[in-house]
Structure 1
Amino acid sequence: MGSTGPCFYGHCIVMFLLHMITPSSEKFMVTGLEGPVVAPLGGNLELSCQLFPSQDAQHMEIRWFRHHYTQPVHLYRDGKDIYGETILKYVERTELLKDAIGEGRVTLRIFNVTVDDDGPYHCVFKDSNFYEEHITEVKVTAVGLQVQIHVHPPNTKGVIVECNSGGWFPKPLMEWRDSRGEVIPAATKSHSQDEGKLFNIKMILLIRDSSSPKVTCYLQNPLTGQEQRTSVAISDAFFSWNRKWKMILSVILFVMVFSVMDSSCQIYIRKQNRWCTWTAPWVIGILILVLSVLTVIGVLVWLHMKQRVPISDAHFELDTLWLEDISVILCALMVSATMLISYVYFKLKAHLQNYHLSEVSSSK
């Protein structure tokens, strides 16, 4: 009787140790792919998960889901696939590969990957009331097949170069680069998503001079590093309009100066019968000229400096053309106004002088 107690307790200790060492069918972990899994748009995706320690999982429930446990992407239960409870958009798009299910490893295959397949996937093994899961992050990628560059007609602000591309996911990195590969700041960047949630991008560059004869639109997928690029050469001929425009303004301002000088000198010579000198009529003429020129320059600078319409707006070119036209009209009006004011002033002054002379002669 005395030896029965120690033997019993020794047996219990041995069984407890064996229980701790021997894997239990109710205790396991789930492992799988680590890190994001990159899936190309339109291709097939395979996600694997594994029981640890390895054991037969044919009698278990295996569930793949996205965000809600009750809405599975794929469900395996009672030894067969259950499609009636899966999310509708995954019906007939998934397959569970069970070649190694006896060792606790299964693979979910998703056909025709879409943008909506991007995100986390939960793999759950459930045995009675015990379950464990592994989460795998999926990153769907798509690279645009074509990059288009459109060069707009030149205007007074420069040359607008527009780069367009579509079919990207996620949103690509986009830059303008010069012939040396250095980044050129873009005037605007914008993007939108189509019905398939793919990104369409537009990037606009405003070139003010011919310092960058060649520019490149560079796009890169941030996940895979795949890139697309297209270059365009900007000829000096595109900037000839700016030179013509400056020449037109210079001619108009010169005409304003010459008109005032000519009118003041002619009237002064005719009245005084001598060459023009720095006398009061000439000073007044100069003041009229300075005020006219400053007015024109001030209005033109204000119009050209004011950002009326952003470059990304479809009406930017129309607004620029309006600005060009209104500038020419203002200059022409100021030339006419300057000549008219000069003529009226000197005519009135001559009339007053004649009137003053007649009054003096009559008083004598």
Structure 2
Amino acid sequence: MKLIFLTLLVIIGITDSRSEQYVVVGPADPVIALAGEDVILPCSVKPNISVVDMRVEWFRSDLIDSVVHLYEDHDDRNTNQSQSYRGRTKLNHEELQRGDASLKLSSAQVSDEGRYKCLIQSKSWSGNATVDVSVEAVGSPPVITVDGFDQSGGLLLQCESEGWYPEPVLEWLNSEGVRLSSETTETHRNEDGFSVKHTVTVYERDSKIHCRIKLKHHMLETMIIATSNMFNLWTTSVILISLAVVLSVNAGILIAVFTKNNRKFDQRLQNQKMIILQEVTHLRTHTVNVILDADTAHPHLFVSLDRKQIFVCVRAPFQSCSGFEFLFGVLVVLVPSRLDIHRHLSSPAR
């Protein structure tokens, strides 16, 4: 009985000693990944032994249910793999024979930043290593635009860029490399990273102004020359604005005068209209019964039998008018020429 017990203790001791001989090793420093590029997450067993027959699992320890990659029973089994990693992870099966379980992550994204665990298990032992991943995204080259002038004639410059991660540092520098203080700063973050926008006012003519954006190991820079012509635009703008103000004031005065005179004219027309209406009303109340004299009428005029109406004949004098010619003359001449007929009737008989 004692012999069996001692034998078991020896076997367990041997197993534990073998287990303690192997360790899963990861990188000592965080792994830096550049957005859009591939990155290797190191993980291996020391001393080197084959892990082909073992279980290798990569997962995010800072997230829940985040399986990054699973190797088991000599094959990749990513049925439960996190959606954001699908099609972007790979283990080198040849390297597994040498104890290397490093993971290749393709097209790194900002969301890939975090803490990863590399877990290797066999039937007799298991071990894990931690891999911290930092993602850097280099944004677009900075763009400088002229945003006008301030009240004292300073040139307003604006520099902006987007797509950075983590948040970059933007700074202005003059020709001598001296930093200029940004007057306004804007920073926004979205799924693509950070966007920054800074403004500065420049008073030096013919000077080089630099906009520089830095992010750890990366830097982008753009330059603009503040020429005298740019500052001359301010003087021209002031003159044009002053002229526009003067013209606006004069136009306002002219409009006011025209409106006032127009109102007076409208009032005068209304008064004249009232006078005419009064005259017409007065004339209507003093109408008389007129009897026309056919003997003294114009040769082209024909007086009706009741001597109350007059018609026009288009034929020569002393010739009788046929029905059509007579009516044609009445319709055409009588209606539009009533005032002319009135003048004929009012003229002395010939």
User: What TM-score, normalized to structure 1?
Assistant: 0.57
Deviations 1:258-279 (A, max 9, x none): xxxxxxxxxxxxxxxxxxxxxx
1:104 and 1:201 mapped to 2: Cα distance?
A: 45
1:233 matched residue in structure 2: 225
| Structure with greater helix percent | 1
The counterpart of 1:164, out of the listed 146, 160, 163, is 160
Letter in 1 for 2:208: K
Deviations 1:190-215 (A, max 9, x none): 12234x422221111122x2278221
Q: Runs (4+) of structure 1 moved beyond 6 Å?
A: 241-247
The counterpart of 1:186, out of the listed 179, 182, 186, is 182
Change in CA separation of 1:92 and 1:243 when aligned onto 2, cut-off 3 Å: closer
Deviations 1:97-129 (A, max 9, x none): 121323322121112222111222211112348
Change in CA separation of 1:121 and 1:87 when aligned onto 2, cut-off 3 Å: same
Specify which structure has the bigger relative contact order, considering alpha-carbon pairs within 8 angstroms and separated by 6 or more residues: 1
Q: Which runs of 5+ in 2 are unaligned?
A: 250-350
Preserved contact between residue 178 and residue 212 of structure 1 (Cα < 8 Å): no
Q: Which one has the largest radius of gyration?
A: 2
Alignment map for 1:74-89 (pairs within 5 Å): 74-89=69-84
Q: How far off is 1:181 after superposition?
A: 0.7
Deviations 1:203-252 (A, max 9, x none): 11122x22782210011222x2x2111111112344457779999xxxxx
Q: How far off is 1:147 after superposition?
A: 1.9
Letter in 2 for 1:36: P
1:35 matched residue in structure 2: 29
1:217 and 1:75 mapped to 2: Cα distance?
A: 46
Change in CA separation of 1:167 and 1:70 when aligned onto 2, cut-off 3 Å: closer
Q: How far off is 1:145 after superposition?
A: 3.7
Change in CA separation of 1:159 and 1:129 when aligned onto 2, cut-off 3 Å: farther
Q: Do structure 1's residue 111 and structure 2's residue 106 form an aligned pair?
A: yes
DSSP-derived class of the 2:68 partner: strand
DSSP-derived class of the 1:103 partner: coil
2:193 and 2:138 mapped to 1: Cα distance?
A: 10
DSSP-derived class of the 1:24 partner: helix
1:45 matched residue in structure 2: 39
Q: Do structure 1's residue 57 and structure 2's residue 61 form an aligned pair?
A: no
1:242 and 1:71 mapped to 2: Cα distance?
A: 59
Q: How far off is 1:141 after superposition?
A: 2.0
The counterpart of 2:132, out of the listed 109, 132, 137, is 137
Percent of paired sites with the same residue: 24
Deviations 1:159-187 (A, max 9, x none): 21001112222222210001011111111
Alignment map for 1:150-229 (pairs within 5 Å): 150-157=145-152, 158-194=154-190, 196-207=191-202, 209-210=203-204, 213-222=207-216, 224=217, 226-229=218-221
1:65 and 1:241 mapped to 2: Cα distance?
A: 61
2:150 and 2:102 mapped to 1: Cα distance?
A: 60
1:246 and 1:153 mapped to 2: Cα distance?
A: 12
Q: Which runs of 5+ in 1 are unaligned?
A: 248-320, 330-364
Q: How far off is 1:75 after superposition?
A: 0.7
Q: CA RMSD in A?
A: 3.7
